[in-house]
Structure 1
Amino acid sequence: MDSAPIVVHPPTGSGGRRVTVRGEILGLAHSDADVVEFLRRAGLPDAEGLLDDSAWVKWRGGRAHHYEAA
């Protein structure tokens, strides 16, 4: 299990990245704005500041902040 509670998974073949919080799927993000909105809806109003904090967010596969198809 990852130590970071938020995981942004590798880009899918059609583009976008699945976002999970403690294993619960929040949605498929196509931008940082999508990730921030998912996290805001999950109760993290200051989510934008968390995206580059490795204690909170684990970016798997591909580069952080890139959502293009793998």
Structure 2
Amino acid sequence: MTVRGQILGLAHSDADVIEFLRRAGLPDAEGLLDDPAWVMWRGGRAHHYEAA
């Protein structure tokens, strides 16, 4: 996962994404997961984390 050009890590679940966003200063990140202005899903469908 990348925030503002900085690599934060690899997310394996929505909980990981929420934690990365929280560490980036967005405490209410859960509501942002489906907002394309905040989260861009790459490499597959949103909320799916299995290997490609």
> Is there any run of 5+ residues in structure 1 with no aligned partner, and where?
1-18
1:57 and 2:33 matched:
no
Superposition misfits of 4+ residues, deviation over 6 angstroms: none
Matched residues, number: 52
More strand by share: 1
> Is there any run of 5+ residues in structure 2 with no aligned partner, and where?
none
Give aligned-pair identity as a percent: 90
Query: What's the TM-score once normalised by structure 1's chain length?
Result: 0.70
**Higher Rg of the two aligned structures:** 1
Cα drift, residue 61 of structure 1: 2.1
Tell me, in whole angstroms, the C-alpha distance in 2 between the residues paired with 1:63 and 1:29.
14
1:34 and 2:7 matched:
no
Query: What's the TM-score once normalised by structure 2's chain length?
Result: 0.91
Q: Taking CA–CA contacts closer than 8 Å with sequence separation of 6 or more, which of the two structures ends up with the larger relative contact order?
A: 1
- 1:13-50, CA deviations, whole angstroms, 9 ceiling, x for partnerless residues? xxxxxx11121111111000000011111111011100
